[in-house]
Amino acid sequence: MNPYRIDFDLITGFCKSGIVKPVQRRVSNMKTQFLDEKAAQKAIEDGDPILYEFNTLLNEEKHSALAFGTTIIYPGKIGDEYYMTKGHFHTVLDTAEVYYCLSGNGFMMMETPEGEVDIKELHPGEAVYVPGRWAHRSINHGKEPFVMFFVYPADSGHDYGTIETKGYRKLVIEKDGKPIVIDNPNWK
């Protein structure tokens, strides 16, 4: 592999040159992950909005390479629950990831297989280190897109299935106009 240069807009998170194309996740891709599945179904019927998109430059999937890119989580709610990413563990469970907030604000919810939960709020200019063994999900509780730059070992892989099957132990919802953390009554 040779050195290269790539552009990312530090506000929008998009690659202006078009070298990296965004992958979109809509409500229909995550319907069962929301607490209020009826509200999710209504959102799908009303146009199936984009919850988030990501731009990943995945180099060779080997230990010495890095993958990096941006995630853009749009503002909105399904029922009382904020728009969020699907969330994942890494297939190579002990691999870490770093996220750096470029614009907007939101939360990074993290959880270990053993049940430890940690939630960090992020604002522009702040980074969060997600250690190996921690599933992670980004949540936008603001009124503008929550944009983050990320980097992780290219061979770490993504395990979305565990979260799709079990969910997260906690959820972030809006109550009285403010974000609060609650137990997930559907956690398996």
Report the chain's terminal Cα–Cα distance, integer Å.
43
| Percentage above 70 pLDDT, the chain | 98
Domain of residue 143 covers 23-183
pLDDT in tens, 75-84: 999 999 999 9
Dist. CA 116–CA 103, nearest whole Å: 28
Dist. CA 98–CA 177, nearest whole Å: 30
Dist. CA 150–CA 140, nearest whole Å: 16
pTM exceeds 0.85, yes or no: yes
In single-letter form, the type of residue at position 166 comes to K
| Percentage above 90 pLDDT, the chain | 79
Q: Specify the number of domains making up the chain.
A: 1
pLDDT at 60 over 90: no
Q: Is residue 95 part of a domain?
A: yes
Token readout for 102 is 């470029």
pLDDT in tens, 102-152: 999 999 999 999 999 999 999 999 999 999 999 999 999 999 999 999 999
CATH number at residue 111: 2.60.120.10
DSSP string, 83-99: PB---BB-SSTT--EEE
Q: Is residue 111 part of a domain?
A: yes
Dist. CA 134–CA 129, nearest whole Å: 10
